Structure 1
Amino acid sequence: MSLHRKGKALLVVALVAVVGMAFRVSWNALRDVAKAIGADGTAALLYPFVVDGLMALALVATLVLTDRDDKRFALRVLAAYTLASLVLNYVHGLVPALHAAPSGRVRLAQWDAAHWLLVLLASSLPVGSIYFGSDLVAKVLHHRPPVREAYEPEHPEPAQVPHAPAHPADAPADEAKAPKPVAAPEPAPVLVATRTEPVRPPAPHTPPAARTVPSPDARSVEFEAAELERMRQDARRAYAESALAERPLSARALGEAFGMSESWGRKQILAARDLEAVAA
């Protein structure tokens, strides 16, 4: 076992020991408070597990849940029951009659409103444990990590911009199809470094060939083809990264991640494996 793992193990053992000792200290106070509000011997013995046990459950749920709202809910439950346990322990220290473990009821405060408020707090904690505990367990059981975290790289590469056509796409179709006006031919300069023969100007009676302009439909087809090819490359790269992480994506998961079918995802997986075999 490495030194880092040993440190983690010792930290967990120390945390469990501290939590166990703190529960034992709080157990005595909560048991006496439960007897003071009319609980019998068995109920008073189990009462500390209801309060402090839900605190431990909320702490575990906070560590497991990744959704922001669910984690916030677990933290609120943990804070509320921690505050309630603190109040009951404080009352146990202020009322000496609770220390004698009486068999009957004991007033928790001299002021009537404070006494009934403390009784309401101590009585409502078991009911709240049932409600909040079941909700936290349901959130943990139904928790699922995001799908894209399995194959999304830590440093995503910028998306490749497809090659744009030379002419803007918003040009009207009539103007694109209209022939360009033919200008008067000018004598071309003689480039000694690139051409050895003299440049012959075109004959006056021979008009220059008109330049072919691609139609908007052709440009749209080229753009869609480039986008599909980029999507295929991204899918193959995603599968290769998931395979390196020893969590290869299935054909269905890969297709759904890119909004395509399962057969499309299977084709990309086969292509990625062929590329890996060629590279090997």
Structure 2
Amino acid sequence: MRYTDAPQRRAHLARRISADGYLSSAAAAQELGVSEMTVRRDLRMLEEEGAVRRVAGGAAIAGDGVPFERRHSAGAAQKRAIAVLAASEAESADTIALDAGTTIAALVPLVASSTIVTHSLPVIEALTRTGSAELIAAGGHYQPDTRSFAGPLTEDALRSVRCDVAFLSATAAGAHGLWGTNALDAAIKRVLAQQSSRVVLLADAAKLSRTAPVRIAGLDIVDVLVTDSSTDAADLAPFADAGIEIRIAG
């Protein structure tokens, strides 16, 4: 495919990013038969129009996700209850991975006896303040909406570490798997799952009846679901059918 007309080319890029959540500059250049410099220029113009958001190596859906601070304050009681119950999954683990979700951040003071692997800036900041756990921090391209690091550098760093348990979050989860709003963050979650012997998903009731645009993975990566007591039985059925252990906080 080759677009010589710039507006047509940019419209195609916007459609691809809207459909997939993320598109790399290299893949777009090959697909369109133009240089990466041309693609980057197109993406810059699309970002100026508010159509996409440029990230490391390409672009993602514009405005994808609620700011971290707003998500952190929402449902604080449920998140705390879920974190307390989930922490028991780390009791015999030497090395654990902590994802970048706001519910995951509540785990930090509860799992300080383990070595912690993370790409989450709030988790890193909390652990450096207390100095109560050994920390392995993976840096890379900073994502303001998730307050975490992502991209190829982060993925490479995480692939060099093996964990006993990974604690993951998702914007939405159900019969069709785990879903998010940030393609780079979704890739990090997949790496954490691959590098861990056991995966624990922390998701409040709202996330089990929600949708999101970016697929993370199928339910087959999850060993344990920890949710809250307001979850509807129908929303739990897909997890039970998949053989996932369900633990309910509160």
Which TM-score band applies after superposition, normalised by the shorter structure? under 0.3
Which structure ranks higher in relative contact order (CA pairs < 8 Å, sequence separation ≥ 6)? 2
- Normalized per residue, which structure has more strand? 2
- Normalized per residue, which structure has more helix? 1
Q: Which structure has the larger Rg over C-alpha atoms?
A: 1
